[in-house]
C-alpha cells in the first residue's frame, strides 16, 4: 500500500499537525461520567488515557456507550462529571468558541458515514480544508491523491447516493484524515461492508496509525478485533471494564500485517 504523500500539501509524508509530547496523553479521562439531559448516566467513572500514536479498539454491546464515549472525545458532548482532557486541554471548561480548533485535530469516521449528499466525493473530502480556510488551488492535488489512496480516484465527481457502502466508508475515512488529524476516531467503520472490505478499511486505519495518528475504533466485529491484535477497551453498561494492554502504541510488527 503506498504511503499517501499527497496528504501533505508540501508533498512530504504524513505527519501530525503539531509535534506532540509523547509523555502527555492526547486523551485523558479522569472519573468521567456522561448523561443526556436528565436521563441516567450512559458512561460512569471512566478512567483511562490514550498515548500519542496508540491504536485501540473500543468494544461493547449495543447501548454500552461506545458512541457516547467517542462523542466525548470529538467534543460533540461534554462530561456531566469528571475531568476530560484532550490535547492537554480541560474540555469541561474550554469555551465553545475554542472547540473548533481542537476538533480540526480530530478526524471522525461515522458508522452512518455522514456524508453531504449534495456534494460530490471531492467536495466532501475537501470540506474540512474549506472550513479551515484553504483555497481550492492549494488542496486540489492533495484531495485527488488522497481519494486515489482510498481507491476512489475514479469517483471524484460521484455523488454519495451513487456510491456503494464500502465506497462511502472509504470516502468518510478520506474526509476524516484529510487534515492530518492527531486523533482518528472510527465508529463501526466496518459495520456496513463485507469482510474483504472490512480488512481493507482496517488496513487503511492501521497505516494512518503508523503515520502518527492516535486511532480508536469502536467495533463489535470480534473477529476483526481478534485478528488485529491491538489493545482493546471494553465498555459494559457505561463502564470501562478492561483495558489491555494499557494505552500503549501498537507493536512494531503487528498481526494486522497478515492482511496487507
Partner 1 sequence: MTVQHHPASSLQGAAILPLKDGRDGGLIFTIAVLSFLACIAVIAALAADRAAQGWAKQLAGSATVQVRPAGGQSGPEAAAQAAEALAGVKGVLEARAMDRKSAEALLEPWLGKGNIPADLPLPQLVTVELDPEKPATAAALNQALSAAHLNAAVDDHSRWMADVRASSDTVRTSSAIACLLISAAAGAVIAFATRQGLAARREIVEVLHLCGAEDPFVARLFQKRFAGLAMRASAYGALAAAAVGAILRLTGGSDGFSPALPIAWTDLAACVAAPVLGAIVAAVSAHSVAMAILREQV
Residues 51-80 contacting partner 1, CB under 8 A: 74-78
* 73 vs 185: CA distance, rounded Å: 8
Closest approach of partner 1 to the CB of residue 137, in Å: 9
Closest approach of partner 1 to the CB of residue 128, in Å: 4
Query: Which position among 96, 161, 244, 252 is part of the footprint of partner 1 (CB under 8 A)?
Result: 96
N residues, the chain: 260
* Complex with partner 1: residue 160 or 250, whichever CB lies closer: 160
The 10 Å Cβ neighbour count of residue 72 is 22
Return the closest-CA partner of residue 108 out of 239, 216, 250: 216
**Strand ordering across the sheet containing 183-187:** 106-109, 183-187, 214-218, 55-59, 232-236, 239-244
* 177 vs 236: CA distance, rounded Å: 29
* Complex with partner 1: residue 94 or 248, whichever CB lies closer: 94
89 binding partner 1? (CB under 8 A): no
Q: Please provide residue 227's backbone torsions phi and psi, each rounded to the nearest 5 degrees.
A: -70, -30
Residues 112-141 contacting partner 1, CB under 8 A: 114, 116, 118-120, 122-123, 126-128, 130-132, 136, 140
Q: Residue 58 is placed in which grid cell?
A: 473500543
Contact track, partner 1, 136-175, x by CB under 8 A? x---x---x---------xxxxx----------------x
Closest approach of partner 1 to the CB of residue 242, in Å: 28
Q: At CA 90, angle to CA 86 and CA 91, rounded to 5?
A: 70
36 binding partner 1? (CB under 8 A): no
The 10 Å Cβ neighbour count of residue 245 is 11
Contact track, partner 1, 170-209, x by CB under 8 A? -----x---x------------------------------
Binding site for partner 1 (CB under 8 A): 74-78, 96-97, 100-101, 103-104, 108, 114, 116, 118-120, 122-123, 126-128, 130-132, 136, 140, 144, 154-158, 175, 179
Amino acid at each position: 500500500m503506498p504511503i499517501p504523500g499527497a496528504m501533505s500539501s508540501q508533498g512530504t509524508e504524513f505527519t501530525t499537525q503539531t509535534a506532540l509530547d509523547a509523555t502527555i496523553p492526547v486523551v485523558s479521562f479522569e472519573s468521567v461520567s456522561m448523561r443526556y439531559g436528565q436521563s441516567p448516566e450512559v458512561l460512569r467513572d471512566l478512567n483511562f488515557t490514550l498515548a500519542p500514536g496508540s491504536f485501540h479498539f473500543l468494544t461493547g454491546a449495543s447501548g454500552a456507550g461506545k458512541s457516547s464515549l467517542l462523542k466525548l472525545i470529538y467534543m460533540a458532548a461534554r462530561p456531566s462529571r469528571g475531568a476530560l482532557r484532550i490535547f492537554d486541554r480541560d474540555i469541561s471548561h474550554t469555551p465553545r468558541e475554542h472547540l473548533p480548533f481542537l476538533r480540526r485535530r480530530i478526524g471522525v469516521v461515522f458508522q452512518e458515514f455522514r456524508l453531504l449528499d449534495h456534494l460530490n466525493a471531492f467536495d466532501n473530502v475537501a470540506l474540512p480544508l474549506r472550513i479551515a480556510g484553504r483555497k481550492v488551488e492549494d488542496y486540489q492535488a492533495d484531495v485527488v491523491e488522497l481519494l486515489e489512496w482510498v481507491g476512489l480516484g475514479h469517483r471524484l465527481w460521484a455523488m454519495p447516493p451513487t456510491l456503494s457502502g464500502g465506497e462511502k466508508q472509504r470516502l468518510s475515512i478520506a474526509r476524516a484524515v484529510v487534515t492530518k488529524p492527531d486523533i482518528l476516531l472510527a465508529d463501526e467503520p466496518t459495520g456496513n461492508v463485507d469482510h474483504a472490505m472490512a480488512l481493507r478499511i482496517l488496513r487503511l486505519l492501521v497505516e494512518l496509525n503508523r503515520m502518527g495518528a492516535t486511532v480508536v475504533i469502536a467495533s463489535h466485529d470480534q473477529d476483526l478485533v481478534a485478528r488485529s491484535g491491538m489493545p482493546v477497551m471494553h465498555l459494559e453498561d457505561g463502564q470501562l471494564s478492561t483495558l489491555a494492554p494499557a494505552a500503549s502504541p501498537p507493536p512494531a510488527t503487528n498481526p494486522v500485517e497478515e492482511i496487507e
